[in-house]
Structure formats: C-alpha cells, structure tokens
C-alpha cells in the first residue's frame, strides 16, 4: 500500500486545497516562506481540476479537510485549538470539525449495532435518536435502555472508516519518505517513525472495545479528582464497532457564550483543565490525549466531563520524572538544571556544550515569564524551539509525541476560555506537588522498597540460577578464576549478594 501510487493522494491533497480556496489560507496562516509558497502553487494550480469539491457551504479550509478524509480532519481539530498560531477567525472555522461534521444515516448505524450486538435495536433501546454529534471517526446517538430507562450515549463507527484511514496514512508515509529524501536534515525528527506512531494510535481508536477499556481505567484513576467526571462504559452493550456509555449532560466547553449564560467561571475552568491534564500525566502516567473542546463538557455543578477515550497517552515513571523536572526547571528559571536533565535523559547528544544549551533554553523561557499570554506568539516560539533543537542535534522522542501534542491542545483550550492565562503559573502547584512526592529522599526510599520487593520475588530461584551458571562455566574450556571480578561467576556471586540485600530491604521496608 505504501508505494508510489500514493503520489496521486498527495497531488489530490494539493489540488483540493487549491480548488476550495484553502491553499492561500494555509500558506498565510503559517507564514510560509516564499520558496514553500512557490512549490505549493506549482503542485496545486495545474491539478486544481482534480481536487475534491467538498461542501460549498463550509469555509475553505474545513471544506477541504472534510473532503480529504479522517486523518486530515484530525489535523484540523488540533489547529482549531491554536488561535495564536492560525488566528482567531480560522480557529473558529476549524472548530466545526470537532463535533459538527455531516452524520451518516441513522439506518446504517442501526444496522451496525444489530450486527455487532446480535440483537434488534428495539430489543436493546426503548428510544434511539438521530445523531447528536458526528466526528471524524464515529457519531453518537442518545438512547434509552429498554430494561431500566437509563439515558445512554451510543457511539458507532463510521462505515468504511478503517479503509479510509489506511488510505490517508499510506499517503502520509510517502510524504514522510519524500521529506527525508529531499531534506536529509529532517531525518533527526524521524518523520517516518512519527507517522508509524500516529498509525498505531489511530488503529487503536478504531476498536471501540479498547476505548471502553480506556474509559474504565481512566475513571478508576480519576475517581477522587474534584471537579472531574468520566462516563462509565456499559460492557454488555459495547463491541468493536459500538460502545455504550452513561449519558453526560453539560455545556460544550467550546461555547463561551453558553458557559457565561450558565454562570460558569471561565478563568476557573481554564486553570482546571490545564491542571487536570498535568495531574493525570504526572501522577498516573495515563492521560486523555485528545482534549479538544469537542471532547469536553461542563456539568451544571461546574465539573468538567471528559468524552471520547479513543486516544489515551501512557508514559513510564522515569519519563514522568524527567518531564516534571524539565517543567519545574522552567518554572524556577533554573535553565542549567533543565539542560542537565536533557543530557541525563539522553535527549541531547553528550558531545554538545551544556552551558551553551542552557543559554539557548533561557532565550526560549525568559520571554514567557511576567508577560501577558496574549502578547506571546506561540508560532514564533515554536519556530525558535525548532531552531534550538536542530542546532543541538535533539531527535524526536516518539514516546513523547502524544504528551507534547496534548500539552499544545490543552493550552489552546485553556487559552480559548481565558486569553490571559499564564500556563506556567497555573502549572506550578501541580508540578511542585509531584516533585515533592517523587524527586527527593522520600522517592528514593520508595524506589528502594520497590526494588527490594522485585528482587525478593527472585529469591527462591537464586540457587538454581547460580547452579546453572556454574554448570555452563564448567563445560567451557576457560578456567574459572573466582577472585577476578570480571569473570561471570564473580559477577554472579556479587549479584547473589545484591539479591540477598534486596530481599532484606524488601522485608524491612
């Protein structure tokens, strides 16, 4: 599938942008340099007649993206949260991609439900509405359980969505390969690996059984979080193409007028959504990775309700500590420590100058502090960060792609609620709390206890491991010299001692 025939898909992309009038909008929004503008025009104008027409009732860019397919729509959803990058007007236009896409026929949804759950819709639900929301991958219907009368949300995948996504992703692979071929310097950003990561995430989103599992885990992790709700999944009414959740009533987080009319404090909501994301990422290592306005509501009591758990992020504890130390260093303006953390984690090659890197980080961080958020151009900031990372040979960390992307989205959501929000001031309590609990003497003792517990589980197997190693060594012609520390047996005896010490630590702690 990932062959040269995907060139057609790339040509059609440019042609569709040109035909819909979105090409100029995109180039202007991203302040594209003259050379890129020329290439885009050369590739777009001659093939304009091949472009997809899309819905003429939509603005140019939403029209082009909806015509091109699900992967492009996902890209537009992310841009809709960044008015500081694409401008307020374009961000507002793109927001319709979040939950106001054209639905597919209700009859098709009913057929998919009956096929998946092997029962007539009337036997499952006493009422089944027309679509109440339609997104790039699925649409939602409101229904009432036949047995209990409980209101529920029934999510159904779009017909043929898997094939459509594979078509888009295959074209992305070709584009990534072309970028790497044309610009060898781009290889450090691992474009192909980034697309591979994106593919794995999207393929998981297309199995609603996985989304139901994610919703259940996320609800368990956040059960004690004040001001936050997660709908519960109904497993007996869920499958690969269908998922049923308890109904969540609320005002869309993207509708500022409705929030104001309901008496909600938008400044408080902006701070809460940012702090909740950081708390989930740092405390649990498991976070909602698609937190745009279309997936968030506000309940009557002011709680934020999360929806759509198809894309969730997970990071290990070590990476969480690195991420927290980097954030904490920026908050404290300790750029030397931020640089050290980058080197310790292997994010920057060891042959680079740490002092010079610290100075570069200062030039990125200092403009943020003490400045009204509305005066910060995130587009220029991201551009400068790219220059810094290129200069110091930093490579894209594929395991952090979701974390980085979600941080951008969440900041955009918070800023849409409160344009004057200072993300560093709001983040500080959460990051400092995590640092107190996870970096320092208390964390060392906890790590030792866990290490002891792990080592103690291997205690019963230790004699057999030593005996097997000795037998292998005795079968070899090389003579054993136990007193030499570099021999395998010598290391095994040292390991035995460390394991015994670990067992004692585990029992003591």
pTM of this prediction exceeds 0.85: no
Give strand pairing partners of 144: 127, 151
pLDDT of 184 > 80? The answer is no
Mean pLDDT over each residue of the chain, to the nearest integer: 79
| CA–CA distance, 280 with 287 (Å, rounded to integer) | 5
Q: Smallest Cα–Cα separation from 157: which of 95, 203, 89, 93?
A: 203
Nearest-10 Cα torsion for 451, 457, 459, 464:
-120
| Mean pLDDT, residues 204-211 | 87
Where are the alpha helices (H) located in 222-287, listed in sequence order?
256-261, 266-279
At 228 the three-state DSSP class reads: strand
Residue 396: per-residue pLDDT: 58
| Mean pLDDT, residues 61-87 | 76
Higher pLDDT, 322 or 237: 237
pLDDT of 78 > 70? The answer is no
Please state whether beta strands 304-306 and 228-229 pair in parallel, antiparallel, or not at all (unpaired). Answer: parallel
- Among 110-119, 261-270, 344-353, 381-390, the minimum mean pLDDT is found in 381-390
Inter-CA distances, 163 with 47, 86, 160, Å: 25, 30, 6
Give strand pairing partners of 313: 287
- The active-site residue, picked from 84, 170, 290, 308, is 290
Is residue 88 annotated as a catalytic residue, yes or no?
Answer: no
Where are the alpha helices (H) located in 418-459, listed in sequence order?
423-438, 441-457
Confidence of residue 30 (pLDDT cuts 50, 70, 90): low
Inter-CA distances, 8 with 12, 13, 68, 74, 170, Å: 6, 9, 13, 21, 11
**In this predicted model, what pLDDT tens digit does every residue of 434-489 receive, in sequence order?**
888 877 666 667 667 777 777 677 777 777 777 788 887 776 654 444 444 444 44
Q: Smallest Cα–Cα separation from 167: which of 10, 29, 22?
A: 10
At 82 the three-state DSSP class reads: coil
Please state whether beta strands 251-252 and 296-298 pair in parallel, antiparallel, or not at all (unpaired). Answer: antiparallel
Q: Smallest Cα–Cα separation from 95: which of 125, 135, 56, 127?
A: 135
Q: What are phi and psi of 315, to 5 degrees?
A: -135, 145
Segment holding 131, helix H or strand E: strand 125-134
């Amino acid at each position: 599938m990932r062959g040269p025939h995907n060139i057609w898909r790339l040509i059609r992309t440019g042609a569709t942008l040109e035909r819909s009038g979105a090409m100029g909008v995109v180039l202007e929004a991203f302040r594209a340099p003259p050379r890129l503008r020329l290439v885009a025009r050369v590739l777009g104008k001659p093939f304009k007649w091949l472009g997809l027409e899309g819905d003429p009732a939509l603005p140019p860019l939403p029209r082009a993206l909806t015509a091109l397919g699900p992967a492009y729509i996902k890209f537009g959803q992310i841009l809709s949260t960044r008015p500081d990058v694409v401008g307020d007007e374009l961000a507002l236009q793109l927001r319709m991609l979040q939950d106001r896409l054209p639905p597919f026929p209700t009859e098709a949804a009913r057929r998919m439900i009956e096929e998946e759950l092997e029962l007539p819709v009337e036997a499952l639900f006493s009422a089944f509405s027309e679509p109440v929301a339609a997104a790039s991958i699925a649409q939602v219907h409101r229904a009432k359980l036949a047995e209990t009368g409980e209101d529920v949300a029934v999510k159904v995948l779009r017909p043929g969505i898997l094939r459509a996504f594979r078509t888009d992703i295959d074209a992305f692979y070709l584009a990534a390969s072309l970028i790497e071929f044309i610009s060898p310097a781009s290889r450090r950003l691992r474009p192909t690996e980034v697309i591979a990561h994106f593919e794995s995430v999207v393929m998981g989103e297309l199995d609603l059984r996985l989304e139901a599992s994610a919703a259940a885990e996320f609800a368990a992790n956040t059960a004690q979080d004040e001001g936050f709700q997660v709908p519960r999944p109904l497993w007996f009414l869920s499958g690969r193409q269908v998922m049923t959740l308890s109904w969540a009533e609320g005002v869309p987080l993207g509708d500022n007028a409705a929030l104001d009319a309901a008496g909600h404090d938008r400044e408080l909501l902006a701070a809460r959504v940012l702090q909740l994301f950081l708390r989930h990422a740092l405390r649990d290592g498991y976070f909602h990775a698609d937190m745009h306005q279309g997936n968030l509501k506000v309940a009557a009591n002011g709680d934020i309700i999360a929806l759509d758990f198809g894309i969730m992020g997970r990071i290990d504890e070590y990476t969480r500590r690195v991420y927290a130390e980097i954030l904490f260093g920026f908050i404290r303006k300790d750029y030397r420590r931020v640089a050290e953390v980058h080197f310790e984690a292997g994010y920057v090659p060891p042959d680079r100058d740490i002092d010079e890197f610290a100075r570069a980080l200062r030039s990125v961080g200092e403009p943020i502090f003490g400045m009204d958020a509305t005066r910060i151009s995130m587009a220029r900031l991201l551009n400068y960060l790219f220059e810094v990372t290129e200069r110091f040979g930093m490579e894209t960390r594929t395991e952090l792609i979701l974390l980085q992307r979600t941080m951008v989205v969440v900041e955009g959501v918070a800023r849409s609620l409160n344009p004057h929000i200072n993300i560093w001031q709001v983040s500080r309590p959460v990051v400092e709390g995590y640092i107190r609990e996870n970096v320092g003497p208390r964390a060392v003792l906890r790590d030792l206890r866990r290490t002891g517990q792990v080592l103690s589980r291997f205690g019963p197997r230790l004699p057999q491991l030593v005996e097997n190693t000795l037998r292998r060594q005795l079968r070899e012609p090389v003579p054993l010299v136990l007193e030499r520390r570099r021999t395998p047996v010598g290391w095994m005896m040292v390991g035995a001692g460390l394991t015994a010490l670990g067992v004692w630590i585990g029992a003591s702690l």
